[in-house]
Structure 1
């Protein structure tokens, strides 16, 4: 079992490049697919999760809805090599992965206030499969305090584990250059 809280940088790099580290990415829109592509290009195994069965089926057939050729190629290669699959079952994806990246949208309601419904559902799904030593990353665009005030308590309640003691929790601001996301992420982050 991999414990990311105790892993050294060199060990992490080896786990990624060898495909032994598995990431699950929740939300296979532009951001999610771009992140999947970058991790696949680095050597990791990736499980993509989405609520659209039609999108899942298309992606698993190699039909990737992206304007970036690098994303299409990386997903296609990952499918052929068995390092990528898209599924509906987010709990299973959480169980099978060590890193969970949530990229689901946070929309605005009629009063222009954030609607956290999709994010809450994704967090609870991840929590149901969360294990000791795992890492959860919130990459959705969210207001300040969302990770601490929404993600942390939901994950702890759902998983019955404690952040920092049992699993890691981080926020990574979504900063993707539309049209060249793979290049942008690989060169700048």
Structure 2
């Protein structure tokens, strides 16, 4: 039995979300895969309806999917894997880096520690775990989440851009709470980088 027309796709791409606990990976995924109604801003909270301040930490991995239409007409099914940031789940989560076509490395813009870990620990872990024939290491994006907050300590844009440019990593700042740049982040990685290569290179 064939899938309904709105669920049919031409290509499938697996993307992993990595980053420290509490940086907002699960809320980013929830917004990206939400319906238009769920994405709407609730005027009483100034947050999207899907956003939650009290999400439970991810245990192991969770995933969501969304069909994205490429400008060339191809329908791409993005399979997004949300990985736990806690050390005790590392053996489980790192296994999902293999065969991933790309990754979003998430940090909290109000936490310099989470930014440093994104640049050091998480990027290093992806490099150590990726399959040799995978496009993962050439399809990376650093996402600074929680731009709706007032940053207390955050690396400057100039410094961040210089560090990322040296490694060929894309970067964007977003808010899972308001939805700012969330869809753009996922689509830029999937459409702009992964799909243009037909899964072989970005």
TM-score tier by shorter-chain length is 0.3 to 0.5
Greater strand share, 1 or 2? 2
Taking structure 2 as the reference length, the TM-score comes to 0.45
Higher relative contact order (CA 8 A, sep 6+): 2
Taking structure 1 as the reference length, the TM-score comes to 0.47
